[in-house]
């Protein structure tokens, strides 16, 4: 089955430190991978995506993600965390199924940046 | 603001009542998705439209759920005879896509349903 896994329910990091939010995927063929962020009582906002090409993709708010095909991972990273980065982060994969494009989300990782 | 708009933002209803949610996507987007999200979970796919055609429905979408997208513009999601288990955030998203495309989804703020 096509899926993504986010192994950590919560990640705590001190403000100013680098952060990593993990995501692994299971998709046949070439994956289209995404990260979204959700603030309390809000909809999801797109951060970045990997389609093809450079394994390191840069996105909004200083976030970046590294695609690793051998490890089937797409971890989200930021060099220096801000308190305002505290939110729920979702990894997602887009794949072809039955002739249609489907998007499946992970269960989310809560990021807590501690002042 | 020309983003995805959802109404109402919050609906409280009694068990057994019918509710309808509306989604207005970004105007040039041809694809529209409905997801359901419960606390501590990621969004779960419900159904998907390309223009006015409903192309796929999840097994999560029981017979009490129906969605439409007349004329390929706004969409409605109706839940009949609501049950307490229907309590969730209902998210609408749209995207601009073509065959094989990988456009990102643009989400609305969601419609929170509470069934008493």
Report the residue of chain A nearest B90, measured CA to CA.
Answer: A43
Instruction: Determine the number of helices (DSSP H) and then strands (DSSP E) in chain B.
Output: 0, 11
**∠B65-B69-B73 over CA atoms, to 5°?**
150
Percent of chain B surpassing pLDDT 70: 95
DSSP assignments along A12-47, one per residue: EEETTS-EEE--EEE-SSS-EEEEEEE-TTS-EEEE
Calculate the dihedral angle through the C-alpha atoms of A78, A55, A109, A44, rounding to the nearest 10 degrees. 90
Distance between A5 CA and the closest CA of chain B, angstroms? 11
Mean pLDDT of B106-113: 95
Beta bridge partners of A102: A95
Q: Which residue has the tokens 């419900």?
A: B46
B67 Cα distance to chain centroid? 8
Mean pLDDT of B71-87: 95
Q: Output the average pLDDT for chain A.
A: 92
Residues B72 and B52: their CA atoms lie apart, in Å, by: 4
Nearest CB neighbour to A46, from listed B45, B100, B106: B106
**B31 vs A contacts (CB less than 8 Å):** 101
Residue B26, pLDDT > 60, answer yes
Residue A9, pLDDT > 60, answer yes
Distance between B59 CA and the closest CA of chain A, angstroms? 14
Residue A12, pLDDT > 70, answer yes
Residues A92 and A110: their CA atoms lie apart, in Å, by: 15
Residues A62 and A75: their CA atoms lie apart, in Å, by: 14
Contacts of A113 (CB under 8 A, 6+ apart): A13, A14, A15, A19, A81, A82, A83, A84, A85, A86
Q: Which of B104, B109, B112 to mutate to test the interface with A (most CBs of A within 10 A)?
A: B104
Residue B104, pLDDT > 90, answer no
Tell if the CB–CB gap between B42 and A94 is shorter than 8 Å.
Answer: no
Residue B2, pLDDT > 80, answer no
Residues A38 and B41: their CA atoms lie apart, in Å, by: 12
């Amino acid at each position: 089955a096509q899926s993504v896994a986010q192994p950590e329910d919560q990640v705590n990091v001190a403000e100013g430190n680098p952060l990593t939010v993990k995501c692994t995927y299971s998709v046949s063929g070439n994956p289209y991978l995404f990260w979204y962020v959700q603030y309390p009582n809000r909809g999801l906002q797109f951060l970045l995506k990997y389609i093809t090409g450079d394994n390191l993709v840069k996105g909004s708010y200083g976030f970046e993600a590294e695609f690793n095909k051998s490890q089937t991972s797409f971890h989200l990273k930021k060099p220096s965390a801000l308190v305002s980065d505290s939110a729920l982060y979702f990894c997602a994969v887009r794949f072809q199924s039955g002739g249609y494009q489907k998007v499946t989300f992970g269960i989310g990782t809560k990021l807590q940046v501690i002042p | 603001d020309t983003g995805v708009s959802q109404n109402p933002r919050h609906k409280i209803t009694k068990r057994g009542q019918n509710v309808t949610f509306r989604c207005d996507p970004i105007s040039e987007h041809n694809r529209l998705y409905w997801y359901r999200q419960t606390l501590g979970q990621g969004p779960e796919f419900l159904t998907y439209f390309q223009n006015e055609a409903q192309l796929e429905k999840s097994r999560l979408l029981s017979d009490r759920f129906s969605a439409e997208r007349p004329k390929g513009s706004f969409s409605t999601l109706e839940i009949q005879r609501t049950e307490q288990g229907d309590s969730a955030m209902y998210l609408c998203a749209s995207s601009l896509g073509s065959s094989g495309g990988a456009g990102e989804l643009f989400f609305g703020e969601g419609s929170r349903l509470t069934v008493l």
